[in-house]
C-alpha cells in the first residue's frame, strides 16, 4: 500500500506540470512558416484533464491535525469543444479508463479526503463565451444529503462593475459569467509570450499613477451556483485587494475564501476602485 500511495503522489506531482498550460494558455502553432497563438481549447486533451484535476485539488481545505476535507459533493465541468473532431478527441481521453471521475476521486484520496458521494458531470460546449480563452470551467456545489434531485436552476444575477478610480479600457462592465478576472492589461503573457490570462476588467498598462498599483493578475470574482452569491478573491497581488462597505474596509487575504459581494460595495485594487451593482431577475 505504501508503494501504491507513493506512486499516486508522484503522478499527482507530475500532472501539475500541465496546469499552467491549460488554465488559459495559448499554444504556438506553425502556419506558413510563422508562429501564431492557438486558442486554449486547441490544447491536448490530456493537458486539459490534468489541469481540471489540479483545479479540483486546489479546493481541498485543511481540517486540522494534518487532515484535509473536500467541501463539495457536486463537480460540474464545462469543456470547450468547438468541433465534432475536438469533442471526439476530448471524449476519448475523458471517458476512457480511468475516466475523469476516476482520476478526480483518486486525487482526492491521495490528498487525504473522503470522496464518498462526490459526483462529476461533464458538458461539452460547442460555442464557448465570446472572447473566452479558457479550455474549461469547473463549478463546485454541495447537494444536501437526502435531497430529491437537483433544484431548479436559478438565473444568474448580473453584476455591474464601474471604474471609480483608475483608467480602464471600458469604464462600465456588465457580466453574468461564472468567473471575472480583474487586473492590468487585457492579456497577460508569460516570459515565453504565452497567453496565461485574459482580464475581463482591464486597467490600462501605460496610464501610470493609480494603474501602476494594479497587478496584472490582481484579483478575480467567482459566482457560486450553490450559494447564489458573487465572491471576490485576491490573486497574490502586490498591493492587495479590499472591499469597502458602509465606510468599513475589509481586506481580502490571498489564498482565502474571499469576501461575498453586495450591491453598493467598492472593490479596491491597490489604489484603483470599482463600484459594484448586482441585479437579480424578479420571479
Indicate whether 153 belongs to any domain. no
Q: Which is more confident, 283 or 47?
A: 47
Give the pLDDT band of residue 12 (cuts 50, 70, 90). Answer: low
Least confident of 50-59, 143-152, 182-191: 143-152
147 occurs within a structural domain: no
The pLDDT value recorded for residue 127 is 65
Which CB contacts under 8 angstroms, 24+ apart, belong to 41-47?
Answer: 41/79, 41/80, 41/81, 41/82, 41/86, 41/128, 41/135, 43/135, 45/89, 45/90, 45/92, 45/93, 45/94, 46/18, 46/93, 47/18, 47/21, 47/22
Domain edge (last residue) among 107, 141, 175: 141
The partner residues of 195 in beta bridges, in order of sequence, read 189
Out of 115, 141, 167, a domain closes at 141
On whether both 30 and 134 belong to a single domain, the answer is: yes
Mean pLDDT, to the nearest integer, of 135-142? 88
What is the pLDDT at residue 166? 95
- CA–CA dist 243, 262 (Å, integer): 10
pLDDT digits (tens, 9 = 90+) for 152-197: 556 789 999 999 999 998 899 999 888 899 999 999 988 888 888 8
| Domain assignment present for 148 | no
149 is a domain residue: no
Same structural domain for residues 24 and 124? yes
CA dihedral 99, 105, 106, 107 (to 10 degrees): 110
pLDDT per residue over 17-39, tens digit each? 444 444 444 443 333 333 333 45
Q: 243: pLDDT confidence band, cut at 50, 70 and 90?
A: very high
Residue 52: which CATH number? 3.30.2320
pLDDT band at 146 (very low <50, low <70, confident <90, very high): low
Q: Which helix (H) or strand (E) holds 19?
A: helix 19-22
Structural domain boundaries, residue 237: 158-279
Q: Are residues 25 and 76 in the same domain?
A: yes
The pLDDT assigned to 29 comes to: 35
Q: Are residues 36 and 117 in the same domain?
A: yes
Q: Tell me whether residue 207 is in a domain.
A: yes
Read off the C-alpha cell for 95: 471517458
Do 26 and 115 have their domain in common? yes
pLDDT surpasses 90 at 75: yes
DSSP string, 200-259: SEEE-SS--GGGGGS-TT-EEEEEETTTTEEEEEE-S-SS-EEEEETTEEEE--BTS--E
Residues 181 and 272 in one domain: yes
More confident residue, 148 or 243: 243
| Residues 245 and 124 grouped into a single domain | no
Closest to 268 in 3D by CA, of 157, 148, 164, 122: 164
Q: How confident is the model at residue 254 (pLDDT cuts 50, 70, 90)?
A: confident
Cα–Cα distance measured from residue 71 to residue 90, given in angstroms and rounded to the nearest whole number: 27
- For residue 12, is it within any domain? yes
Q: What percent of the chain has pLDDT over 70?
A: 78
* Whether residues 6 and 115 fall in one domain: yes
Q: How far apart are CA 73 and CA 121, in angstroms?
A: 11
Q: CATH no. for residue 267?
A: 2.60.200.20
At residue 271, the pLDDT reads 96
Res. 128 pLDDT band, cuts 50 70 90: low
Q: Take residue 159 and report the three cell numbers written for it.
A: 453584476
Say whether both 177 and 117 belong to one domain: no
For 37, list phi and psi in degrees, rounded to 5.
-100, 125
In a domain, 14, yes or no: yes
Vertex 24 angle, CA 173 and 136, to 5°: 90
pLDDT (0 to 100) of residue 23: 45
- How far is Cα 94 from Cα 122, in angstroms, rounded to an integer? 9
Residue given cell 500511495 in the structure block:
5
Contact 264, 248 (CB under 8 A): no
Verify that 168 and 78 share a domain, yes or no: no
Could you give the count of Cα atoms lying within 13 Å of 135 in the half-sphere of its Cβ? 31
Residue at a domain's end among 141, 171, 186: 141
Assess whether 208 and 118 both reside in one domain. no
Mean per-residue pLDDT for 88-104?
88
pLDDT value at residue 266: 98
Comparing 3-17, 80-94, 157-171, 195-209, the range with the smallest average pLDDT is 3-17
Q: How many domains does the chain have?
A: 2
Q: 46 and 167 share a domain?
A: no
Q: Cα–Cα distance between 165 and 204 in angstroms, integer?
A: 12
Residue 146 lies in a domain: no
C-alpha 87/C-alpha 223 separation (Å) is: 27
Amino acid at each position: 500500500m505504501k508503494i501504491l500511495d507513493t506512486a499516486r503522489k508522484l503522478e499527482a506531482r507530475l500532472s501539475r506540470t500541465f496546469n499552467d498550460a491549460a488554465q488559459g494558455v495559448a499554444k504556438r502553432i506553425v502556419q506558413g512558416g510563422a508562429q501564431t497563438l492557438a486558442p486554449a481549447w486547441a490544447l491536448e486533451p490530456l493537458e486539459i484533464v490534468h489541469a481540471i484535476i489540479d483545479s479540483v485539488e486546489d479546493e481541498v481545505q485543511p481540517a486540522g491535525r494534518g487532515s484535509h476535507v473536500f467541501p463539495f459533493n457536486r463537480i460540474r465541468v464545462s469543456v470547450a469543444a468547438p468541433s465534432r473532431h475536438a469533442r471526439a478527441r476530448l471524449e476519448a481521453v475523458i471517458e476512457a479508463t480511468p475516466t475523469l471521475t476516476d482520476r478526480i476521486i483518486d486525487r482526492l484520496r491521495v490528498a487525504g479526503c473522503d470522496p464518498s458521494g462526490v459526483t462529476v458531470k461533464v458538458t461539452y460546449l460547442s460555442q464557448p463565451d465570446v472572447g473566452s480563452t479558457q479550455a474549461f470551467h469547473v463549478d463546485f456545489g454541495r447537494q444536501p444529503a437526502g435531497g430529491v434531485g437537483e433544484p431548479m436552476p436559478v438565473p444568474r444575477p448580473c453584476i455591474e462593475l464601474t471604474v471609480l478610480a483608475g483608467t480602464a479600457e471600458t469604464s462600465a462592465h456588465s457580466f453574468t459569467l461564472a468567473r471575472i478576472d480583474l487586473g492590468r492589461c487585457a492579456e497577460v503573457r508569460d516570459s515565453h509570450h504565452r497567453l496565461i490570462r485574459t482580464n475581463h476588467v482591464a486597467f490600462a498598462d501605460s496610464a501610470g499613477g493609480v494603474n501602476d498599483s494594479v497587478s496584472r493578475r490582481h484579483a478575480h470574482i467567482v459566482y457560486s451556483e450553490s450559494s447564489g452569491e458573487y465572491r471576490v478573491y485576491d490573486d497574490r497581488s502586490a498591493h492587495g485587494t479590499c472591499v469597502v462597505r458602509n465606510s468599513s474596509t475589509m481586506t481580502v487575504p490571498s489564498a482565502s475564501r474571499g469576501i461575498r459581494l453586495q450591491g453598493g460595495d467598492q472593490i479596491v485594487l491597490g489604489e484603483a476602485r470599482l463600484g459594484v451593482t448586482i441585479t437579480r431577475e424578479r420571479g
